[in-house]
A and B are shown apart, each in its own frame.
Chain A
């Protein structure tokens, strides 16, 4: 354990993927809040994206497996709710990877608004047209909404601002 430091652990965590959006690592997502290395153990603090996100349990297992694979025996994982996760914490690299994967990334600062029937301008990840239309505010996972492109006709998912 002597040669393990926080920086090293962060490098290992870059290999842990979001099981629901495997293009992104948990660092790209911005859910790792802290890493602490003490003599015998590593503690990782993560924050859930959504309260009921079923990926969180899988991500915890993924962290344990990644660290155990590098010989870490004592691993603790804490969940921290506050400050609440926001898509503003997603890295620029993460947004680029999302787009390549075919998911329109969150493209501006997250906000909370009660504006009804409002639609943001979302760019089609395939042809870059902004001539797109929301199909549903909710998608196959909590973090996504469904859109379609009116130019290239491709349906696509949008990682919601949160």
Chain B
């Protein structure tokens, strides 16, 4: 149960990092272009640490289990050849349904307001989640969380300020920010619904209790939206889910096509 959990943490980090990286060279002004790519780098750095750990755990599994763990033929060939896997194997060679990230992080950038809304919901989640996760009984996961907490605090401050700036800005920026909040909202519910592997990890005090995180998260979201003169969609709205169990939106396919192209087309290439 620990391997899917580590992958779930790593995949969130990689996919949001890739999404933010898409802004490189396209930001509305240079400073904000740099802000998003700096945040992307923090996320990808966290993904690396977690994939290294996941690879370590995977390499200790019995070979028969390794052979069927992922559907990717490229990975199966490696195992058959007696090779071990590493961080790059997990990022570049796994198929979409073996990714465990939440649907929220695969939402497209669309425009500045949507990018800010996605970031705001996710950064707030990360802030409370990593605060709790830094006390994980798993020392490696706790160390990654402790390190990342400083960075996601910065991300959250940045995205909260943008929600307020746009929400409490002009009529047009208010309208666009409200629309982005409304349309992103249905992808936030999944953050707080525990999969079987998360429940197992919570039972071992490896991962935080999601209900407690949700309470803190909701309070923070409301506080910032109030200041931004924005409103949340009505309670009880329909929530999308599936990503943490490997059922993704079609967006993930496009992300992986770009992300994995080089290693899938020219295996083991380096540059």
Which of A's residues lie within 8 Å of B, judged by CB?
48, 50-54, 80-86, 112-117, 135-140, 142, 146, 162
Produce 1/0 per residue, B207-229, CB < 8 A to A: 00000000000001000100100
In the complex, chain A residues whose CB is within 8 Å of the CB of B112: none
Residues from chain B with a CB closer than 8 A to the CB of A84 are 143, 146-147, 149-150
Contacts A50-B42, A51-B148, A116-B157 known; 17 new A-B pairs at CB < 8 A: A48-B45, A51-B48, A52-B44, A81-B143, A81-B144, A81-B146, A112-B153, A113-B157, A114-B156, A114-B160, A116-B164, A116-B227, A117-B161, A136-B32, A139-B38, A142-B42, A146-B31
> What are 13 A-to-B residue pairs whose CB atoms are below 8 Å?
A50-B151, A51-B147, A52-B45, A53-B45, A54-B41, A83-B146, A115-B157, A116-B157, A116-B224, A117-B164, A135-B31, A137-B158, A142-B42
Give the nearest-CB partner of B32 in chain A: A136
Query: What per-residue 1/0 map shows which CB atoms of B34-65 lie under 8 Å from chain A?
Result: 11001111111110110000000000000000
- In the complex, the answer to whether A136 meets B34 with C-beta atoms within 8 Å is yes
Q: How far is the CA of A137 from the CA of B32 in the complex (A)?
A: 9
Among A48, A82, A117, A162, residue most surrounded by chain B Cβ atoms (within 10 Å) = A82
Chain A hits for B49, CB < 8 A = 51, 81
Q: B157 contacts A162, CB within 8 Å?
A: no
Q: Whole-angstrom distance between the alpha carbons of A52 and B14 in the complex? A: 11
B residues bordering A, Cβ < 8 Å? 17, 31-32, 34-35, 38-46, 48-49, 127, 139, 142-144, 146-151, 153-154, 156-158, 160-161, 164, 220, 224, 227
B161 neighbours in A (Cβ, 8 Å)? 116-117
Query: Which are the 3 A-B pairs with shortest beta-carbon distances?
Result: A52-B45, A51-B45, A136-B31
**Pairwise interchain contact A139-B160, C-beta atoms closer than 8 A:** no
- Whether A52 lies near B43 (C-beta < 8 A) is yes
What's the A-B contact tally at a CB cutoff of 8 Å?
A: 91
Given contacts A53-B45, A82-B142, A116-B161, whether A138 and B147 have CB atoms under 8 Å apart is: no
Please determine whether A51 and B146 come into contact, CB atoms closer than 8 angstroms. no
Distance in angstroms from B112 CB to nearest chain A CB is 15
Given that A81-B49, A84-B147, A112-B150 are known contacts, is A138 also in contact with B42, CB under 8 Å in the complex? no
- Which of B34, B144, B149, B227 has the most chain A CB atoms inside 10 A of its CB? B34
Whether A114 contacts B158 by the Cβ 8 Å rule is no
Residue numbers in A under 8 Å from B44 (CB-CB): 52
B49, B149, B220 interface centre (most CB from chain A within 10 Å): B49
A117: which B residues are within 8 A, CB to CB? Answer: 161, 164
Distance A85 CA – B39 CA, assembled complex (angstroms): 18
